[in-house]
Structure 1
Amino acid sequence: MYRTRIKICGITNLQDAKVAIDEGVDAIGLVFCENSPRYINISRAKEIVENTTPFVNCVGLFVDAEKEYINNVLKEVALDTLQFHGQESEQACALYNKPYIKAIRMNENINLSEEAEKYFSAHALLLDTYIEGLPGGTGIVFDWDLIPKDIAKPIILAGGLNAS
């Protein structure tokens, strides 16, 4: 039996981070993708991370970002985990000596067991709905029957989740 954990992604200000933390989230996500409406700059992200409690995981989300940019973020922001939402290879994701989550855009053509093998160094796979041209954050639920019961990697569900 797995314990349900909650990560609120797309935090853009300290007030929202504090509300999420007060409500008991396990992790907050900071989006370092400039074309996202939830993009956060390095200085604001640093302020948020410096004001989180010790047991809240701070996750930095990147989409096909340049290595130099990720390194610049990591120099300034004390992220606990990285999350990759683009076409990054396993080798590219593993460069930073940080635990990482690899997002997989789910549709009927994805073999999740193969993706788990391909991203063997990932701490988890985050499953989000496939929408052409969007890396994630769609708010739409995919068919959870596409998830094999015997997947050998921790799974994080994203997209259109609600209390039921």
Structure 2
Amino acid sequence: MVKVKICGITSAEQAAQAERAGADAVGVVLYPPSPRAVTLEQAVQVKRGLGPFVSSVALLVNSDSAAVERVIDQLQPSLLQFHGDESAEFCQQFDYPYIRAIRVKPGDNIEQLCQPYHRARGLLFDAWDAQRFGGTGRQFDWSLLPQNCPAPLILAGGLDSVNVATAVAVVAPYAVDVSGGVELSPGVKCPQQMAAFIAAAKGLAT
């Protein structure tokens, strides 16, 4: 069964709501320009809202090594998520489990872009945007996804409870990732929308 990550969680209450809805993982955004950004101290509080069997993911965008080390030391997330322009060498230097986001841009050799990150625990594919590192709420052409992904494939980009079942059927990803598709406003998740999304993704919808 496909796994589901709810990203852009901003409070312990939302984290608990995501877990009750059936989320396998929750993500916190440690990137100040994002409307869903939290501080490291707030991220620690978010994690405290989770039970022991739900993964926590810290999303970082072009952070320096010292900042990443602080996240590892203070938050101890299950996974780091590098969502900027980080090289494979940068991601691997921390000897810590990570997933790497690949922004899918038509014309790029996506399979070639993936190869350096073969040590990642997963590769997350999101829509490309010239101005933003994720969180666009836009779907991309799934036919551009690599045929031979060197790590478990995580699908993001414009997913919601209406289209996620189709996405799972067409792409057969290891996991799906949603943020804006289950929100009342940026950073404010809707428990009902989270539950509907997870049910549709996992084929539990009635």
- Residues 89-110 of structure 1: CA distance to partner in whole angstroms, max 9, x if unpaired? 1011112222111111102222
Over 3 Å off, 4+ runs = none
For residues 31 and 14 of structure 1, what CA distance do their matches in structure 2 show? 14
Partner residue, 1:51: 49
User: Alignment identity in percent?
Assistant: 37
Letter of the 1:56 partner, please give it. V
Find the partner of 2:77 among 76, 79, 82: 79
Higher helix share: 2
Question: Mapping of 1:87-102 within 5 angstroms?
Answer: 87-102=85-100
Partner residue, 2:12: 14
Residue segments in structure 2 that go unaligned for 5+ positions in a row: 164-206
| 2:128 counterpart of 1:126 | no
Give the secondary-structure state (helix, strand or coil) at the position aligned to 2:3. coil
For residues 6 and 152 of structure 1, what CA distance do their matches in structure 2 show? 20
- Residues 36-77 of structure 1: CA distance to partner in whole angstroms, max 9, x if unpaired? 111111111112212311111100000000111111122111
Partner residue, 1:156: 154
TM-score, with structure 1 as normaliser:
0.93
Farther-moved stretch of structure 1 (24-33 vs 48-57): 48-57
With a CA cutoff of 8 Å and minimum separation of 6, indicate the structure with the bigger relative contact order: 2
Residue pair 1:112, 1:151 contacting (<8 A) in 2 also:
no
Letter of the 1:39 partner, please give it. A
Residue pair 1:81, 1:100 contacting (<8 A) in 2 also:
yes
Farther-moved stretch of structure 1 (17-26 vs 69-78): 69-78
Partner residue, 2:66: 68
For residues 10 and 106 of structure 2, what CA distance do their matches in structure 1 show? 33
For residues 105 and 10 of structure 1, what CA distance do their matches in structure 2 show? 17
Letter of the 1:149 partner, please give it. Q
Partner residue, 1:4: 2
